[in-house]
Amino acid sequence: MLIPQYESVKREFDTNLSSMYKLDNFICCEENMMAYSAAEAVAFETEVFNPLYFYGESGTGKTHLLHAIGNHILEHYPKMKIMYVTAEEYINDFTKESYKNNEYAIREKYRSLDVLLFDDIQLLAEDERIQKEFAYTVDSILRAGNQVVIAADNPPKKLKGYDRRIQKMLGMGLVTELHFPNPVSKENIVRVKAQERGVLLQEDVYKYIAEKCNSDVA
């Protein structure tokens, strides 16, 4: 399904998106081409992969792609209800509303979204009640024909503490892994990050920094 043609209007909905993360400033190594291509596909036309599920170690670019997808859609369709949220933020929201006996508010907030971008889903396994509520939310969004993009440290079938039915639901779209960049890509990332900060270095310095970065180059 193509993204609906909303007219350009001033946005009032709080997306939690960071404008620094774009598709065109994600430096993609060969190992991450599938994940990047999937992100592009969803950003240009939702529901091609739904849900879209990224997994990989911290520092591989999962959060960047979540924000980049949201920013691209928002740029072209500013009236769409898009939200980036971490598991910690979702847990805090749920706990706060539950304390006030107002769980309807949390359901209304998330189930009405056109695009949900959810980070660190593995953290929900710590609370079965919240985990199930989130599963109902995802199911509701999907049934409405809207988009869900998820990031985690492991694929759905390896999420500890999750019911098998929820694992199956999370994995019924596209599941793709993100890897740490290869040496050439790491050097390119260092070069781009330096340019973004207005820093000019000698070529051997870029290489030295890249070699010393064992994980998150950014």
Q: How far apart are CA 59 and CA 61, in angstroms?
A: 6
pLDDT of residue 123: 93
pLDDT of residue 3: 46
Q: How far apart are CA 44 and CA 42, in angstroms?
A: 5
pLDDT of residue 2: 42
Q: Which amino acid is at 59?
A: G
Mind listing the pLDDT tens digit for each residue in 176-204?
Answer: 999 987 667 676 777 766 666 776 766 76
pLDDT of residue 215: 57
pLDDT of residue 125: 86
Q: Encode 61-112 in three state secondary structure.
A: CHHHHHHHHHHHHHHHCCCCCEEEEEHHHHHHHHHHHHHCCCHHHHHHHHHC
pLDDT tens per residue, the chain (218 residues)?
444 443 434 445 689 999 989 999 888 888 899 999 999 999 998 668 999 999 999 888 999 999 999 999 999 999 899 999 999 999 999 988 887 877 788 888 999 999 999 999 999 987 888 999 999 999 999 999 999 999 999 999 999 999 899 999 999 999 999 998 766 767 677 776 666 677 676 676 656 666 666 655 45
How crowded is the C-beta side of 206, counted as CA atoms within 13 Å? 18
Q: How far apart are CA 26 and CA 23, in angstroms?
A: 5
**Which pTM was predicted?**
0.83
